[in-house]
Amino acid sequence: MSSRNKILAAVKANQFSYAELPDLKMLNTLTDTGDNLVERYTAVGTAGGSFVYEVADYDAIKAILQKEFKPGVKIISGVPELDEYTNVEDVKHELSHSFADVELCILPSNLGVAENGALWLTEQQMTVRVLPFIAQHLAIVINKDNLVPTMVQAYQTIGDAKYGYGAFISGPSKTADIEQSLVIGAHGPRSLSVFILP
Amino acid sequence: MKVALFVPCYVDQFYPKAAIATLELLEKLGCEVHYPKNQTCCGQPMANSGYEHLTSGCNSLFIDNFSGYDYIVCPSGSCTLHIKEHLHAHDNEDMATEIRKRVFELTEFLVDILKIDILDATFPYRVGLHQSCHGLRGLRISQMSELVAPAFSKPAQLLNLVRGLELVPLSRADDCCGFGGTFCVVEEAVSSKMGKDRVDDHIEHGAQYITSADLSCLMHLEGILRRQNSDVKVIHVAEILNNSI
Amino acid sequence: MSSTATKDHAELAAIFNRDEPRVDWHDETLWWVRAKRDIAAQKLPEWELLRETASQIKNNVLSNLSSYLEQFEANAIKNGAIVHWAANAEEHNQIIHKLLSERGINRMVKSKSMLTEECHLNEFLAQRGVDVIDSDLGERIVQLAGEPPSHIVLPCIHKKKEEIGDIFHEHLGSAKGESDPKILTETARQHLREVFLTRRAALTGVNFAIAETGEFVICTNEGNADMGAHLAEIHIASMGMEKIIPERKHLGVFLRLLTRSATGQPITTYSSHFAKPQDGKEVHIVIVDNGRSIQLGREDFRNSLKCIRCGACMNTCPVYRKSGGHSYHTAVAGPIGSILAPNLDMKKYADLPFASTLCGSCSNVCPVKIDIHDQLYKWRQVIVQAGYTPTAKTIAMKGMAFTLASPALYRAAGKMGRLTFKYAPFAVNNGANPWYKHREMPKAPEQSFGEWYAKRKEQKK
């Protein structure tokens, strides 16, 4: 018998009487559904090390990026409205490894979570999976209406969507492995800027 | 109200004053207190060491001694918990079940059954309350710091009725003292370090006395305090509640 | 580690306690993590119901695990992954070695996986000429130090920054005496970037595997799992079979609990959902039993398989905080490790269920409500019954039980006992008395309560 069948047989023999899945309704009614999502997202995101900007339009984003990033650095954008940078669609054929010198990657998100600052991106927005990880800095653009209070509503929004890969990203990469002292910039981006559009 | 006094073996042997205070306090509060004289031990020292199968003798003796009372009251959360969770008798399970329901730790008995809200007691000292784990997380006589739930404390509620007594705050409200039965000798290094750290917390906050609903913890903490030649003393909560100067 | 293999928890803990300032530092650091967890939990009024719900979901998983495993496998295959099954650590290691050798790969990058620690994968591969580099910063540090992790979430929590500075100076060329965490982290970043860019194979653990969709989720703060997996040609994900959850929406329960319990963060920086391989790349999932199906059959202990590896029980455990992770001499230390390890080797880990005061704090912080301290108590009974306790202890316990079952013997022994402490719980060891090392004995009173009571009764007559 293969290990697979042996294992499954052993599990089957040892699992106990069937226990029903709990009803999540009660929990979900107790879970926060409140308002002021931008304010709360901003507070939590900032505490998690992100730079959160509530901006009026794309021009405001451009102005901030121009201030923060020197001209000439390699910037890849997946946001159609931010078109003065290298478009991600134009470089997606390149090997993931070639993005090691990307200074900034700008991507859109359609789902943000106020309770933990997390933003949901799938392969569709990333185009190349490694991009939001390998870039030195990451910026994510989201519409205010796409914020939800908690992970409960986030997974309701995701539903049974099909994706090859998706990630919640809630801040810059970080570690506290050395004496629990927080260091921003572990293996992924050294900063995350979140732009919230009206 | 017929109350049986259940005195843990080590309290009987080493801390009779706590048992006397418990008896006097219950009598003062109008209970008809009996002390079944053939009681020995609840069996916890064996059970917690992995020898629960050797406790049947203790169990039947306990049932012989404590059947037929309205309540069984004990000045130890730990021993009470052991009876509540582990008293069984294959030939007398109905009685064992009855006893498990009727056994109470002293402070929970005073608060939940006697519903004491005034007390004629005086203890003009700064007191640190050590939350003994079995009373806390087993019997839930106080709220546990790990849970997201409203705070309460039955021993603190009673101590706050005592004239002159000031409860000192602690940095770690309910960290274990490290006694742990045979743990205190098997894991001597960790046990005594845990005890030292608990004692330090009380001393740093200005406690003159450390009290608890469990003398096993206090015996351990007292051993450390006396080794340090500290002026801080341990005292069972019953002795404070029974203290009228 | 061969030097510690023969010592039990108490001996290793005593060694750890020789350096008291270090114990204080270790204790304070972990207590701070516990405090952060409390603050995060207190922010959610529904916290206790969230724990209860997670516990019930895991009940359902454990009661229906074989079907969920088959469902997960079918969906993962549909997604384009290749699924392997390993009955034990040896088979797990062989599967991975074969995947690498078939492709001519002799260097691999690995993100944190306690399962591979449990299986001793690194040693296995090293013996066969495969170089593995751990990419989680804490794991890389202990790997360079030649030690196992001392904590499942904070692998090098036992190391001081100065010691890490020395290790980095020796292996990664940082400046001598440099101990600033920022600079040391940057050194590791540069070193590991090079590794990520040059490894054809990446191994990761799995935090959650979703039966409904065949996807699996990995949580990191550093981004190391993603850097490794997205840059490599082959991504191997090792998962203990208990990592299954039924549906994607259940992540909305577990991801809310995991990091709040672990570090007090509301979520990890990255919660990555791997469904399909990237174009032209391979995903292999290795589902591992290694004793889990046996534990599932132990009614008193099966709930230990609910564990989501948050480490909260370690941070809150006063024994863990004051004895250090290595004193548990097993891959998963602390309270949860002490109920998992005896399942694998009862004799070798017979000491671990006794390395606890049964204070119960572990069970209260557990996000999936495992009754950890009750299981520690139950393991003690099992271990004694199986004969893995010293004979002297058994004899002492029998003597104690015999004495305590008889009022007459008890009274006689008590009289002596007040002089010799013969049967007091702190004196079961008749050799040099460990109680006295740091503690005074209780003062023996003139009479017991029983004697006082009898006299009072006389006087009342």
Lowest mean per-residue pLDDT among A101-105, C289-293, C432-436? C432-436
Q: Where are the alpha helices (DSSP H) in B29-116?
A: 44-46, 56-66, 77-86, 93-102, 106-108
Q: Across-strand partners of A139? A: A106, A193
Q: What gap in Å lies between CA C270 and CA C274, rounded to an integer?
A: 12
Residue of B nearest to C409 (CA): B40
For residue C4, the model assigns a pLDDT of: 45
Tell me what pLDDT residue B226 has.
95
User: With contacts defined as CB-CB under 8 Å, which chain C residues touch B147?
Assistant: 48, 364
Choices 3.40.50.300, 3.40.50.800, 3.40.50.10420, 3.30.390.30: CATH for C44-290: 3.40.50.10420
Residue with the larger pLDDT of the pair C139 and C396 = C139
Q: Closest Cα partner for C449 from B76, B210, B144, A46?
A: B76
Residue ranges of C 67-96 with Cβ closer than 8 A to chain A: 69-70, 85-87, 91
Best B34, B78, B85, B146 residue to mutate vs chain C (most C CBs within 10 Å): B146
Crossing angle (nearest 10°) for helices A3-14 and C65-78: 140
d(CA C407, CA C401): 12
Chains B and A touch (3+ CB pairs under 8 A): no
Among the listed residues C203, C183, C200, C43, the one whose alpha carbon sits nearest the alpha carbon of residue C136:
C203
C441 contacts chain B (CB < 8 A): yes
Nearest to C383 among B23, B46, B50 (CB): B50
B197 contact C CB<8A? yes
CA C232 from centroid of its chain's CA atoms: 29
C400 touches chain B (CB under 8 A): yes
The CA distances from residue B5 to A135, B37, B57, C153, in Å, are 72, 10, 20, 48
Gap between the Cα atoms of C193 and C172, Å rounded = 13
Higher pLDDT: A51 or C431? It is A51
pLDDT attached to residue C417: 59
Whether B147 has a pLDDT exceeding 60, the answer reads yes
Least confident of C125-139, C285-299, C414-428: C414-428
Question: A114 and A168 in contact (C-beta within 8 Å)?
Answer: no
Q: What is the mean pLDDT of residues B160-184?
A: 96
**Cβ–Cβ gap A180/C154 under 8 Å:** yes
CB atoms within 10 A of CB C28: 11
Q: What is the pLDDT of residue C399?
A: 85
Q: What is the strand order of the sheet C201-204 is part of?
A: C82-86, C282-288, C234-240, C201-204, C107-110, C131-134
Q: Would you state the pLDDT for residue C418?
A: 56
From C26, C303, C306, select the one nearest C151 (Cα to Cα).
Answer: C26
| DSSP assignments along C291-357, one per residue | THHHHHH-TTTGGGGG-----HHHHH-HHHHHH-GGGG-SSS-HHHHHHHHHHH-TTTTTTGGGS--
The answer to whether B189 contacts chain C (CB < 8 Å) is: yes
Is the pLDDT at C419 greater than 70? The verdict is no
Query: Which residue from A187, A105, A174, A87 is spatially nearest to A141, judged by alpha carbons?
Result: A105
- Please list, in sequence order, all residues whose beta carbon lies within 8 angstroms of the beta carbon of residue C195, skipping any fewer than 6 positions away: C109, C133, C135
Structural tokens at position B218: 């206090």
Residue C227 to residue A134, Cβ atoms within 8 A: yes
Q: Would an 8 Å CB–CB cutoff place B223 in contact with chain C? A: yes
Considering only CA atoms, which of C246, C343, C368 is closest in space to residue C290? C343
* Amino acid in position A120: W
CB contact under 8 A, A3 and C85: yes
Which of C438, C447, C458, C460 to mutate to test binding with chain B, by most B CBs within 10 Å of its CB?
A: C438
Which pLDDT value is given to residue C401?
86
Q: Which of residues 343-362 of C touch B (CB under 8 A)?
A: 353-361
B21 interface with C at CB cutoff 8 Å: no
Collapsed DSSP state (helix, strand, coil) of residue A136: coil
Give the residue extent of every domain in chain C. 44-290, 300-385, 391-460
- Is residue C427 over pLDDT 70? no
> Following CA atoms C193, C197, C200, C205 in sequence, which dihedral angle do they give, to the nearest 10 degrees?
30
User: Nearest CA to CA, how far is A141 from chain C (Å)?
Assistant: 17
Average pLDDT, chain C: 93
Residue C19 corresponds to which tokens in the numbers above? 């350096």
CB contact under 8 A, A7 and C87: yes
Contact A198, A56 (CB under 8 A): yes
Do C275 and A164 contact (CB within 8 A), yes or no? Answer: yes
The identity of residue C73, as a single letter, is E
**Residues C85, C55: contact at Cβ < 8 Å?**
no
Q: In C, residues 104-133, which contact A (CB 8 Å cutoff)?
A: none
In DSSP notation, B149-214 reads S---BHHHHHHTTSBT-EEPP-SSTT---S-TTTHHHHTHHHHHHHHHHHHHHHHHTT-SEEEES-
CA distance A115 to A120: 13
pTM: 0.95
Decide if C326 contacts C22 (C-beta within 8 A).
no
DSSP class of A127: S
**Cβ contacts of C93-100, under 8 Å, gap ≥ 24:** C93/C119, C93/C120, C93/C121, C93/C124, C93/C125, C95/C286, C96/C121, C96/C125, C96/C203, C96/C236, C96/C238, C96/C286, C97/C124, C97/C125, C97/C128, C97/C130, C99/C201, C99/C234, C99/C236, C99/C284, C100/C125, C100/C130, C100/C201
Is residue C222 within 8 Å of residue C138, measured between CB atoms? no
Lowest average pLDDT, out of A16-30, C295-309, C327-341, goes to: A16-30
CA–CA dist C153, C138 (Å, integer)? 9
User: So where are chain B's domains?
Assistant: 2-113, 126-241
Cβ within 8 Å, pair C424-B13? yes
pLDDT digits (tens, 9 = 90+) for B3-60: 999 999 889 988 999 999 999 999 999 999 999 999 999 999 899 999 999 999 999 9
The number of distinct structural domains making up chain A is: 1
Q: What is the pLDDT of residues B64-114, one digit of tens each?
A: 999 999 999 999 999 999 999 999 998 999 999 999 999 999 999 999 999
The pLDDT of residue C343 is above 90:
yes
B162 Cα to chain C: minimum distance (Å) = 25
Chain C, nearest residue to B49 by Cα: C380
Q: What is the pLDDT of residue C3?
A: 44
Q: Does C12 touch chain B (CB under 8 A)?
A: no
DSSP-derived secondary structure letter, B142? B
In the beta sheet, which residues pair with residue A113? A148
Q: What is the pLDDT of residue B208?
A: 98
CATH number at residue A115: 3.40.50.10420
Chain B residues lying within 8 Å of C406, measured CB to CB: 40, 57, 61
Are the beta carbons of A121 and C272 closer than 8 angstroms? no
State pLDDT tens for residues B217-233. Answer: 999 999 999 999 999 99
- Minimal CA separation from C204 to chain B, in Å: 32
| In the predicted structure, residue C420 carries a pLDDT above the cut 50 | no
Q: What is the mean pLDDT of chain A?
A: 94
Cα of B17 to nearest chain C Cα, Å:
8
Report how many Cβ contacts below 8 Å link chain A to chain C. 239
Query: Is the Cβ pair B20, C452 closer than 8 Å?
Result: yes
Nearest to B58 among C47, C363, C405 (CB): C405
Closest by CA position to C330, among listed C90, C69, C148: C148
Closest CA to B82 of B129, B40, B135, B13: B135
Q: Do B16 and C397 make contact, defined as CB atoms within 8 angstroms?
A: no
Contact residues, chain A, for C141 at CB < 8 Å: 177-178
Instruction: Give the domain extent around A67.
Output: 51-197
Residue of chain C nearest B15, judged by CA positions:
C445
Fold of B126-241: Rossmann fold (3.40.50)
B179 to C447: CB separation less than 8 angstroms, yes or no: no
**Closest alpha carbon to C237 in C206, C260, C208:** C206
Instruction: Tell whether C428 lies on the interface with B, counting CB pairs under 8 A.
Output: yes
What are residue A143's DSSP bridge partners?
A: A197
Whole-complex ipTM: 0.97
Q: Which chains does B contact via 3+ CB–CB distances below 8 A?
A: C
Q: Residues B204, B179: contact at Cβ < 8 Å?
A: no
